[in-house]
Structure 1
Amino acid sequence: MRALQLTTTPRPFFDQQVAALEARGVECSTLSVPRTGEDGRVPTDYVRYLPGVLREVGAGESYDLVHANYGLVAPYAVAAARLADVPLVVTFWGTDLMGPEWLRRLGVACASAADAVILPSRAMADALDGDYTYVPFGVDTDLFRPIPKDEARERVGWPDEENVALFPYDPDRPEKDYERAKRVVSLANADARLRSISGVDYEEVPYYFNAADALLVTSERESGPMVVKEAAACNVPVVSTDVGFAADAVGDVTHSTVSDDDDALAAGLDAAFGGGRSDGREVVSGLSVETMGDRLAGLYDRVLDRRGDDRSAGRERNDRVSESGRRTRRRGGAPAD
Structure 2
Amino acid sequence: MRALQLVTNTESRFFNQQIRYLEAAGVETTTLPVPGNRHVGDGDVDGRSPLDYLRLYPTVLRHSFGDYDLIHANYGLTAPAAVAQPSLPVVVSLWGTDLMGPYGPVSAACARFADAVVVMSHEMADRLNCDSYVIPHGVDLERFAPAPADEARAELGWDPDVRHVLFPYPPERGVKDYPRAERVVEAARERLDEPVELHAVTGVPHARMPVYMNAADSLLVTSRREGSPNAVKEAMACNLPVVTTDVGDVRARLADVSPSAVETTDEDLAGALADVLAARERSNGREAAREVSVQRSNERLRAVYRTVVADGT
Partner of 1:314: none
Pick the aligned partner of 1:270 from 265, 271, 274. Answer: 274
Does 2:19 correspond to 1:26? no
Q: CA deviation at 1:41?
A: 2.4
Structure having the higher Rg: 1
Partner of 1:303: 308
Does 2:53 correspond to 1:49? no
Partner of 1:242: 246
Q: Which amino acid aligns with 1:306?
A: D
Decide whether aligned partners of structure 1 residues 36 and 133 sit closer, same or farther in structure 2, where only a CA change above 3 A counts: closer
Q: Which amino acid aligns with 1:221?
A: R
Matches within 5 A, 1:163-242: 163-188=163-188, 189-190=191-192, 191=194, 192-242=196-246
Cα distance in 2 for residues equivalent to 1:112 and 1:42: 24
Local SS of the residue matching 1:284: helix
Residue 124 of structure 2 contacts residue 227 of structure 2 at CA under 8 Å; is this kept in 1?
no
Partner of 2:43: none
Q: Which amino acid aligns with 1:282?
A: E
Decide whether aligned partners of structure 1 residues 306 and 78 sit closer, same or farther in structure 2, where only a CA change above 3 A counts: same
Residue 281 of structure 1 contacts residue 287 of structure 1 at CA under 8 Å; is this kept in 2?
no
Cα distance in 1 for residues equivalent to 2:302 and 2:173: 36
Cα distance in 1 for residues equivalent to 2:36 and 2:160: 43
Q: CA deviation at 1:23?
A: 1.6
Cα distance in 1 for residues equivalent to 2:168 and 2:302: 32
Residue 251 of structure 1 contacts residue 258 of structure 1 at CA under 8 Å; is this kept in 2?
no
Residue 122 of structure 1 contacts residue 248 of structure 1 at CA under 8 Å; is this kept in 2?
no
Q: Which amino acid aligns with 2:91?
A: V
Residue 75 of structure 2 contacts residue 98 of structure 2 at CA under 8 Å; is this kept in 1?
yes
Cα distance in 2 for residues equivalent to 1:37 and 1:148: 38
Q: CA deviation at 1:125?
A: 1.8
Cα distance in 2 for residues equivalent to 1:141 and 1:44: 40
Cα distance in 2 for residues equivalent to 1:208 and 1:262: 24
Local SS of the residue matching 2:15: helix
Q: Which amino acid aligns with 2:62?
A: R
Pick which of 233-242 and 44-53 moved more.
44-53
Partner of 1:90: 92
Partner of 2:101: 99
Decide whether aligned partners of structure 1 residues 115 and 277 sit closer, same or farther in structure 2, where only a CA change above 3 A counts: same
Q: CA deviation at 1:218?
A: 1.0
TM-score, scaled to structure 1 = 0.84
Cα distance in 2 for residues equivalent to 1:213 and 1:172: 23
Partner of 1:111: 111
TM-score, scaled to structure 2 = 0.90
Decide whether aligned partners of structure 1 residues 135 and 266 sit closer, same or farther in structure 2, where only a CA change above 3 A counts: same
Cα distance in 2 for residues equivalent to 1:38 and 1:129: 30
Structure 2, unmatched stretches of 5+, are 41-46
Residue 121 of structure 2 contacts residue 227 of structure 2 at CA under 8 Å; is this kept in 1?
no
Local SS of the residue matching 1:286: helix
Partner of 1:135: 135
Q: What do you get for the CA RMSD once the two structures are aligned?
A: 1.7
Q: Which amino acid aligns with 1:48?
A: R
Pick the aligned partner of 1:73 from 78, 81, 85. Answer: 78
Residue 176 of structure 2 contacts residue 224 of structure 2 at CA under 8 Å; is this kept in 1?
yes
Cα distance in 2 for residues equivalent to 1:283 and 1:73: 32
Q: Which amino acid aligns with 1:108?
A: A
Residue 260 of structure 2 contacts residue 283 of structure 2 at CA under 8 Å; is this kept in 1?
yes
Cα distance in 2 for residues equivalent to 1:281 and 1:38: 34
Question: Quick one: percent identity of the two aligned structures?
Answer: 49
Residue 218 of structure 2 contacts residue 242 of structure 2 at CA under 8 Å; is this kept in 1?
yes
Q: Which amino acid aligns with 1:52?
A: T
Residue 104 of structure 1 contacts residue 127 of structure 1 at CA under 8 Å; is this kept in 2?
no
Q: CA deviation at 1:275?
A: 4.8
